[in-house]
Structure 1
Amino acid sequence: MINEQRLVDQFISYVKISSPTKKEGRFAAHLCKELEALGLEVSIDDAGEKVGSDTGNVIARLKGNTPGETILFSSHMDTVSPSIDVKPEIRDGVIYSDGTTVLGGDDKAGIAAIMEALKTIIEGDLPHADIEVVFSIFEEGGLHGAKNLDMSLLKAKQVFVLDSGGDPGQIIIKGPAQDKLEFLVHGRPAHAGVAPEDGISAIMVASHAISQMKLLRIDAETTANIGKIEGGSVTNIVPPETMVVAEARSLNNDKLKVQSEHMVKCFEDAAEKFGATVDSKVTRMYSAFDVEADSDIVTKAITACETIGLKAFTAPSGGGSDTNIFNARGIMAINLGIGEKKPHTLEEHLHIKDLVASSKLVLELVKLSVEI
């Protein structure tokens, strides 16, 4: 019942509408117009004003024609850079960009799958309970749209997020917590050629701290990375300040605490060793989630996958998503694989068959929400 050509055309049209993080406004307006034409109640919240985006989260509701449980689907509108003027190409059943930008399947594939399912339901007058949709802003770089979403506007108690790079059939039931770590090292300036011994190199202090750290893959559940270093201005001055930005993630909140404390201690020890000082800031960006494999929401996803011929499997994820925020704020959520391949790279691509399977999965989940 899913119209494959219409779905592909719709996805192509979406990725051509530029929507980098904090500039999702044009795409949001386009989606609102589409949703209203389909007969959904549509609103935009004030999250954009709070986080500096040019629009808020799009929230839509299709009133049910049959008794059942309200079901919620969510994907995010923003894309990572470079994503301006995407030129999609189809080769051998796969959609690519032209290689100068990302494709934007993360997460416009999820949005297209949801929209096609809605069109199929409405055109076929298929039985459905209330359906809610959230298309969020500013997901990339901190999940800020979902963090500022007014959850009281939603009736659903469960949400299916379509935003995982796994194959359709993948059900993400565990996601990591993430800490953002910021360090500002204060050394002492001196002339690098005349009296370097009078200075304390903030860059050297930071380098020593980093050299003592456990980084990248810590264990099966935990990772850490130094993402940004800034310091110094000219070669003839011992650099008095250096800024370092890092992250740590873990599926286990206790392990994350240990890792973050370890990274802070490395900087404190290095500062003490060289006579410098350091300002350390640790911010919990989002908490971990762990949905039971035998919970109702997972059982529904497995049933829906198997009904349409997908091999269902549960898995953890090392990446954060709006799924983390929904779970933390009382709406049970899982993240579904929709086939986004190599997201956040110029090689990003999407198999058409996966796009179709994702839309079929949305449709099947809607059917399962109807009272029998």
Structure 2
Amino acid sequence: MANRERLTKTFLDLLQINSPSKSERGIADYVKSRLSELGFEVQEDDTGTRIGGNAGNVIAFRRGTATSGRAIFLCCHMDTVEPTSDLQIKIADDVVRSDGKTILGADNKAGIAAVLEGIESFLSTNRSASDIQILFDVSEEIGLLGAKNLDKSLVRAELGFVMDTGAPVAGIVVSAPSHESIRAEIRGRAAHAGVEPEKGVNAILATAYAVSKMRLGRIDSETTANIGVIEGGKARNIVPDSCLVLGEARSRSEEKLVAQVEHMVSLLKEEAAKCGATAHVETKREYSGFRFTEDDEVVRLAIEAARRIGIEPELQDGGGGSDANVFNEAGIPSVVLGVGYHNPHTPEEFIRLSDLEKASDLVCSLIAVAAHK
């Protein structure tokens, strides 16, 4: 079982280290030291250099003593969204939160704390374990950059558990969508807005016509779409000759995703043409989705681990992407597990220490169950 005092100290230590994306050096040094103390072989890759950050992914491995079992990895990201500087931590009874001026950073430092404590708790029992690998990666919050740049040949585990979603503890994300991003530049023609607007082609107006006709938001239970950025114009007295549009579509159905992207791209091109403008549109696959059932081994192991600590796990369909998308695409079965935090990415973010304890116990249980598979 988790040592609450040690766990709380670890979590608070992590929260005090500011680590926005591409600035994870402090967290990387902290976890490398802790993992070395726990008997892991620890290395850091060159992802930081390749993405313009100050730290790389931390990859740690501890060979097991069990004669059977499955090698597993436990994964968390070391970065947080902003703002996190000048974080003031408030603890009231069982709840940890910020003072409301910044996020807390429980996403994903609660996961890191749970992994470190869960491992230490397990090792203190002197039970046999199978091989354990730890992947603490960088810049997850800005496009899964750490996982995408990780050399997958360094992954020695057979099954993966990404400790990176909120409440409830031990919730198992068994499916997640594929994600396509859309970048469009609408090009019109500039003109003086007061003297000869007739000679202009308004790129913002063409964009507005297109966006107004798009199906956006919640399309169905599997599909979402959004236009998140529209930028254009130079001055209020100039008919704008260009407009940048950034959007996305996600779906757990590949067929629905293709149809939604085609719908958005077609409208951008058609409405631009109607106005006398042109649309230059690019789409990019950000990551591909995955889907498991309770019959898949990675899910069965997580279910058994949760039940051993008295939790009946909830199987969930995800709406966002995570490192698990990247690992599944690389052929390494991986699911996302709940750590217990609430309201991530907002100043209202919080976590109960009792839930953090449960998440640590879940890590300990995962290691124990994997040793006998």
- TM-score range (shorter-chain normalised) is over 0.9
- What letter matches 2:9 in structure 1? D
- Tell me the equivalent position of 2:164: 163
1:66 shift after superposition = 2.4
Distance, in Å, in 1 between the alignment partners of 2:71 and 2:179 is 30
1:278 shift after superposition = 1.1
- Tell me the equivalent position of 1:205: 206
C-alpha deviations, 1:142-161, integer Å up to 9, x for none? 11110111111121110011
- Tell me the equivalent position of 1:60: 60
- What letter matches 2:5 in structure 1? Q
- Tell me the equivalent position of 2:189: 188
- What letter matches 1:154 in structure 2? V
Matched, 1:239 2:244: no
1:103 shift after superposition = 0.6
Consecutive unaligned residues in structure 2, runs of 5 or more: none
Matched, 1:355 2:356: yes
Q: Is this contact kept in 1: 2:70–2:159, CA < 8 A?
A: no
Consecutive unaligned residues in structure 1, runs of 5 or more: none
- Tell me the equivalent position of 2:280: 279
Aligned pairs for 1:103-118 (under 5 A) are 103-118=104-119
Distance, in Å, in 1 between the alignment partners of 2:99 and 2:127 is 38
Helix, strand or coil: the match of 2:157?
Answer: coil
- What letter matches 1:34 in structure 2? R
1:135 shift after superposition = 0.4
- Tell me the equivalent position of 1:15: 15
- What letter matches 1:25 in structure 2? R
Q: Is this contact kept in 1: 2:122–2:367, CA < 8 A?
A: no
- Tell me the equivalent position of 2:132: 131
Helix, strand or coil: the match of 2:248?
Answer: strand
Helix, strand or coil: the match of 2:147?
Answer: helix
Distance, in Å, in 1 between the alignment partners of 2:301 and 2:80 is 29
- What letter matches 1:38 in structure 2? L
Distance, in Å, in 2 between the alignment partners of 1:135 and 1:87 is 25
Q: Is this contact kept in 2: 1:206–1:267, CA < 8 A?
A: yes
* TM-score calculated relative to the size of structure 2: 0.97
Distance, in Å, in 1 between the alignment partners of 2:320 and 2:274 is 35
Distance, in Å, in 1 between the alignment partners of 2:158 and 2:128 is 20
Distance, in Å, in 1 between the alignment partners of 2:181 and 2:22 is 20
Distance, in Å, in 1 between the alignment partners of 2:107 and 2:231 is 30
- Post-superposition, which runs of at least 4 consecutive aligned residues in structure 1 deviate over 3 A? none
- Tell me the equivalent position of 2:341: 340
Q: Is this contact kept in 1: 2:182–2:247, CA < 8 A?
A: yes
Helix, strand or coil: the match of 1:69?
Answer: coil
* TM-score calculated relative to the size of structure 1: 0.98
Distance, in Å, in 2 between the alignment partners of 1:345 and 1:212 is 31
Distance, in Å, in 2 between the alignment partners of 1:34 and 1:223 is 40
Aligned pairs for 1:76-87 (under 5 A) are 76-87=77-88
Helix, strand or coil: the match of 1:140?
Answer: helix
- Tell me the equivalent position of 2:153: 152
Q: Is this contact kept in 2: 1:94–1:350, CA < 8 A?
A: yes
Distance, in Å, in 2 between the alignment partners of 1:366 and 1:348 is 29
1:124 shift after superposition = 3.3
Aligned pairs for 1:26-41 (under 5 A) are 26-41=26-41
Distance, in Å, in 2 between the alignment partners of 1:202 and 1:168 is 48
C-alpha deviations, 1:286-313, integer Å up to 9, x for none? 0010112211111111111111011212
Distance, in Å, in 1 between the alignment partners of 2:118 and 2:86 is 27
Distance, in Å, in 2 between the alignment partners of 1:119 and 1:305 is 18
C-alpha deviations, 1:199-226, integer Å up to 9, x for none? 0111111111100100010000000111
Distance, in Å, in 1 between the alignment partners of 2:86 and 2:35 is 24
1:92 shift after superposition = 2.6
Distance, in Å, in 2 between the alignment partners of 1:220 and 1:371 is 37
C-alpha deviations, 1:31-78, integer Å up to 9, x for none? 111111222110011222222221111000122232232111001001
- Tell me the equivalent position of 2:258: 257
1:333 shift after superposition = 0.3
Matched, 1:330 2:331: yes
C-alpha deviations, 1:134-189, integer Å up to 9, x for none? 00111112111101111111211100110012301311000011111101010100
Give % identity: 43
- Tell me the equivalent position of 2:295: 294
1:353 shift after superposition = 1.4
- Tell me the equivalent position of 1:177: 178
Aligned pair count reads 372
* Cα-Cα RMSD: 1.2
Distance, in Å, in 2 between the alignment partners of 1:293 and 1:166 is 20
Helix, strand or coil: the match of 2:226?
Answer: strand
Q: Mean alpha-carbon deviation: is it higher for 61-70 or for 96-105?
A: 61-70
- What letter matches 1:253 in structure 2? E
1:2 shift after superposition = 1.0
Q: Is this contact kept in 2: 1:17–1:85, CA < 8 A?
A: no
Q: Mean alpha-carbon deviation: is it higher for 64-73 or for 280-289?
A: 64-73
Distance, in Å, in 2 between the alignment partners of 1:282 and 1:355 is 39
